[in-house]
């Protein structure tokens, strides 16, 4: 089984090196995409064998490659573990990544950077596998930074586009800010526990003061806020849509943005002790869920709407983790990965059909030309809305149930409102893109067409998983019960059933309103766009503008002052002065090199006279 851990981990790395080293600078070659796909498939198979083994045996599989750091009291091995938590992540990451890789072979077929793309994409998966499989915080941090680096390369993959480069920089810088907090948290862990291995650290945490534990929890959560784009470090997530659509699917579904949720689940012994920090996490998650959904209500960019949806669903996951129901947070992470990847890849099909057009106002009646894509995106939207028996129902409704059962009425009300908003904007997209009023495609010089069958077949497993994943709840709960407490708040059965029916009624009403409004009423009047609420939401609550005015503009002004006043007038002046002195002195000295013997003799005589004078003066003062 140890060999399977290494196969699952290093197969994506092998694919990345193959595409990068053998085909990186050459013309696009299908082999550069096919081999990484096959190796991802190998990693997926190894992960599922490990999943079955851990489920039946109940024992984690640990691998120690070599002694890594032996310095002072720190003795840390380069080790990995496939346990009940990590193996769930391994399975989800490899399923979604394999499908995205296969889909990308068709999606990127005509791109000049085909070989480079697969090298970056497989490296991204390897970094995520390192993150989830490491048995210590330092290994997790290396994977954490690897994911950040690869996201920078993939978001800015089309670097000839100015905004793509800008978005890549924003994502990278925003995450570096958060990662500083996480790194300080890891330093505190070592300082107070003397170790970075999960098992040792969590055992010794019981001996620490609550104040120290709270600081560690806060600092680690700052890292999670950046990686999972929680407010106020959220602005990079929607802008990351500038990367190729398969990148969006991978980042938003099963890898980068879920890393913050995974960190909280992995560090659940810490957050169970620090209940005040956990409660803050839950309240922030509820706010982010509502906040992101409100922006999706009015957004017109297809990929940005789905990105806001991801941000909103991450809020749900943080609510579950903050309330202490870590198994539900991980369960929603799993189910969400499938239908969210399906939505993004379906959006990729729409982009191909619309010649990269993303404005949903310029779409309509695409169902006739794209029936398979329309059906699969509708399935994903139903799952996202949380309708039984689709995957989202089983996990999202549990979060609503635990919010209500835990006595957090405000959080429950916010999440219930968000569920209604989610259903509305999901079907707003479905109706405006695939049904509703047909756009004037002739005027736009667009001829909608379905994606190649190869790409449709590639994403079909996601449609199946979006329907059936929720039925694996009992298998999943049995698997993780050894490491995570599988519990539900005490609640009368009739109340629980009533909550489910209330949620379903509200969600169905919201879907019905969206269908009625966009199918029969043609949407909302253009005058609505002048409404202050619309402007507020479409401008992302004016938070980017606030950041620009309160942070970016003063920083640019300070940089300008430092450049003009300090760099040019002080630093450059001093450097130039030294250069001028050297040039002037060298010019004068150059005049002394005339080649005249008499001239040299005169200088020698003057030098001897000066030396004798110095000796005479020194002896005179010494005698005195």
Nearest-angstrom CA–CA distance, 489 and 483: 19
- pTM here is 0.88
Q: How large is the greatest C-alpha to C-alpha distance in the chain, in angstroms?
A: 117
Residue 356: predicted pLDDT: 83
When mean pLDDT is compared over 134-138, 442-446, 518-522, the highest value belongs to 134-138
**DSSP 8-state symbol, 75:** E
Task: Return the minimum-mean-pLDDT range out of 92-101, 441-450, 454-463.
Answer: 441-450
Token pair belonging to 212: 């120290």
| Angle of helix 493-520 versus helix 371-385 axis, rounded to 10 | 140
Using CB atoms within 10 Å of the CB of residue 501, give its burial: 0 to 12 exposed, 13 to 18 middle, 19+ buried. Answer: exposed
CB atoms within 10 A of CB 548: 12
pLDDT digits (tens, 9 = 90+) for 279-306: 999 999 999 999 999 999 999 899 999 9
- Residue 385 · residue 418 · CB < 8 Å: no
Question: Which residue is associated with the tokens 């049995």?
Answer: 478
Question: What's the half-sphere exposure (Cβ side, CA atoms, 13 Å) at 469?
Answer: 30
* pLDDT over 60 at 436, yes or no: yes
- Residue 369 · residue 353 · CB < 8 Å: yes
pLDDT digits (tens, 9 = 90+) for 24-74: 666 778 888 899 999 999 999 999 999 999 999 888 899 988 888 887 777
Average pLDDT for the chain: 89
- Residue 546 · residue 455 · CB < 8 Å: no
| pLDDT greater at residue 464 or residue 496 | 464
pLDDT range class, residue 110, cuts 50, 70, 90: confident
Q: Give kind and range of the element (H or E) at residue 459.
A: helix 453-468
Instruction: Summarize the confidence of residues 127-154 as an average pLDDT.
Output: 93
Q: Give kind and range of the element (H or E) at residue 604.
A: helix 597-623
pLDDT digits (tens, 9 = 90+) for 235-255: 999 888 888 889 988 887 778
Residue 14: predicted pLDDT: 93
Nearest-angstrom CA–CA distance, 189 and 191: 6
Q: Is the dihedral of CA 146, 149, 152, 158 positive or negative?
A: negative
pLDDT digits (tens, 9 = 90+) for 484-525: 988 888 888 888 899 999 999 999 999 999 999 888 877 776
């Amino acid at each position: 089984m140890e060999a399977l851990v290494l196969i699952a981990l290093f197969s994506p790395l092998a694919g990345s090196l193959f595409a990068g080293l053998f085909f990186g600078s050459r013309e696009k070659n299908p082999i550069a995409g096919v081999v990484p796909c096959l190796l991802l498939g190998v990693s997926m198979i190894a992960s599922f064998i490990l999943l079955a083994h851990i489920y039946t045996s109940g024992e984690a599989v640990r691998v120690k490659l070599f002694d890594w750091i032996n310095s002072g009291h720190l003795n840390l091995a380069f080790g990995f573990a496939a346990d009940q938590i990590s193996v769930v992540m391994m399975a989800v990451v490899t399923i979604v990544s394999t499908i995205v890789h296969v889909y990308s072979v068709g999606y990127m077929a005509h791109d000049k950077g085909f070989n480079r793309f697969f090298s970056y994409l497989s490296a991204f998966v390897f970094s995520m596998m390192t993150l989830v499989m490491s048995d210590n915080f330092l290994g997790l941090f290396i994977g954490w930074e690897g994911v950040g680096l690869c996201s920078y390369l993939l978001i800015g993959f089309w670097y000839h586009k100015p905004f793509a480069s800008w978005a890549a920089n924003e994502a990278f810088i925003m995450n570096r800010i958060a990662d500083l907090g996480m790194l300080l948290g890891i330093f505190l862990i070592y300082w107070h526990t003397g170790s970075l291995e999960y098992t040792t650290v969590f055992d010794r945490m019981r001996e620490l003061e609550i104040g120290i534990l709270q600081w560690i929890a806060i600092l680690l959560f700052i890292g999670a806020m950046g990686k999972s784009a929680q407010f106020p470090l959220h602005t990079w997530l929607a802008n990351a849509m500038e990367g190729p659509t398969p990148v969006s699917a991978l980042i938003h579904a099963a890898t980068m943005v879920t890393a913050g949720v995974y960190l909280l689940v992995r560090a659940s012994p810490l957050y169970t002790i620090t209940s005040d920090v956990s409660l803050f996490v839950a309240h922030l998650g509820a706010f982010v869920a509502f906040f992101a959904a409100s922006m999706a209500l009015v957004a017109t960019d297809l990929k940005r709407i789905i990105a806001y949806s991801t941000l909103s669903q991450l809020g749900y996951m943080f609510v579950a983790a903050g309330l202490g129901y870590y198994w539900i947070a991980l369960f929603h992470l799993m189910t969400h990965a499938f239908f969210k990847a399906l939505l993004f890849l379906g959006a990729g099909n729409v982009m191909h059909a619309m010649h990269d057009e993303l404005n949903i106002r310029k779409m309509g009646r695409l169902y006739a030309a794209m029936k398979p894509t329309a059906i699969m995106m509708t399935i994903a939207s139903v799952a996202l809305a949380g309708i039984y028996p689709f995957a989202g129902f089983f996990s999202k409704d549990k979060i609503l149930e635990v919010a209500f059962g835990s006595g957090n009425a405000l959080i429950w009300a916010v999440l219930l409102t968000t569920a209604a908003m989610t259903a509305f904007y999901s079907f707003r997209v479905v109706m405006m893109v695939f049904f509703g009023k047909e756009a004037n495609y002739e005027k736009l010089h667009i001829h909608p067409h379905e994606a190649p069958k190869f790409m449709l077949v590639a994403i079909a497993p996601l449609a199946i998983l979006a329907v059936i994943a929720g039925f694996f709840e009992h298998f999943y709960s049995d698997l993780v019960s050894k490491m995570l407490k599988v519990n539900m708040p005490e609640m009368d059965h009739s109340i629980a059933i009533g909550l489910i029916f209330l949620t379903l009624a509200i969600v169905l009403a919201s879907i019905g309103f969206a269908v009625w409004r966009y199918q029969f009423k043609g949407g909302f009047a253009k005058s609505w766009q002048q409404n202050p609420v619309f402007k507020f939401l479409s401008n992302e609550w004016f938070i980017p503008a606030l950041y620009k005015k309160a942070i970016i503009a003063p920083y640019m002004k300070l940089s300008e002052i430092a450049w003009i006043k300090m760099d040019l007038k002080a630093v450059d002046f001093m450097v130039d002065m030294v250069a001028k002195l050297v040039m002037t002195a060298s010019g004068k000295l150059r005049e002394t090199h005339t080649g005249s013997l008499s001239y040299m003799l005169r200088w020698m005589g003057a030098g001897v006279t000066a030396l004798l004078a110095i000796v005479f003066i020194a002896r005179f003062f010494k005698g005195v």
